Structure 1
Amino acid sequence: MLSFTPFNGDSDPESHLKHFKSVMILHKADDALMCKVFVMTLRGAAQNWFHTLPSGSISSFKELSYIFAKEYTSYRTIKKNPDHLFNLRKKSDQSLRDYIKRFKAEKANIVGCDDRIASFAFKKGLPAEHDLYRELTIAPNQTLVEVFATAECYALWDDDRIAAKKSTKQEDQPTKRAGQKSDGFGNRNKDKRRSHPKEDATAGENYTKFSIPIHQILAQVKDKPWLRRPSPVKGDPDKRDTRKYCAFHGTHGHTTNNCFSWKTHLQELVREGHCTEFIAKQAIQRIEDRDTTKEPP
């Protein structure tokens, strides 16, 4: 006896017909047998429907398939087209691996989806500031298999980053409790020694003055080979201020203009002879005066 998935009248009739034909492929030539065995797969309301058909009204399995699909047409699954993939977006609180799994699952439901469309839709679903988006833009002629292979490499790094953040959070909890101080009103303040980049950015008044905001400088030099990437921001990403975004770190929590790491790195670049075209005239004069008096930098 062959094993069939029963049809109760509340699912896609086209899917059930495909399943039945696949199991009966060895007996497909016998039309009468196909009709009789198909009736055995019906259950409940579907079985009752079959017995309402007039005796002798079915002359072939093709005719039975047509009547069956027409009866349960309201349960047919609407097939998605490739354009559906462009609706997928990687959420800010979603890991790269989860986005890859969700995209692959949605693509699997689209029959005959062109790989080039899928590759483009996968990239468009990533945030423009994501490192993988940049990688796929630089090498746009990758096949879909190559795109997924590249994405899996980035997902491994993303998994390690998330695991490191969780580990750091667990290690920091006792330190934070020990570093809290009472303000006399029953409230406790966090240890100032564990500061966030956006707080550190307010310190230090001796930065070189530039003619344009430093976030605009980053936008103009972000593709330069001498620009070094920063270390990931510590802390729980779910607790960051999503209204503020740092293009240097590629994450939320603080703005680019208030980024301590970007300010520090920008000073290093200036000392190395880069980004000098953005220095304000007053700052250039101060640097020249300082060099004249031989002040230590």
Structure 2
Amino acid sequence: MCAEDVEKLVNNRLRDLKIGKNLEDTLRVEVDRANSSPFTSKIEQAAPPKRFSTPSFTCFKGYSDPESHLKHFKSLMILYKAEDALMCKVFAMTLSISSLKELTYFFTKEYTSYRTIKKKPDHLFNLCKKPDESLRDYIKRFKAEKTNNVGCDDQIASSAFKKCLPVEHDLYRELTITPSQTLEEVFATTESYAL
């Protein structure tokens, strides 16, 4: 959509809404409201049925039974034969969250188990080759961990890879003979050794 189309759209919308003096302020508030909604446009545009008045709900404060709260909500909304989209829109009013800080806290608390934990480069020194693990599997596991370790330079990774090999392994001796190898060279030597 080009700038002219947007301008026409805005002008038509303003004419249709018959907005008075505070034209720009009203439009800005409406745009901000539309952009700040957490709902999809289908939910945002859901219209309540005729004679719908929002029932009085008990706000969910976070320390009562959530299933009981949902049952209460659904039992009140079923009287209005409310569609799913309208129920989503109205349900937000039953939550007692007073700030973004509070919402952020509850959101992160609820989904903290899915959080990606940033690993430090020294984590690679804990990836020792297991006695029953093949050299190829160890290389795959090490490379995967190295990839997930943002900010780890190749010199640290190279040192960790060598250090995590068993001392009695022939590859360990071969890699420690030339200690200034790059990570790419270490992997190339290891790959050829694995073959």
TM-score normalised over the length of structure 2 = 0.46
* Structure label with greater radius of gyration: 1
Larger proportion of helix: 2
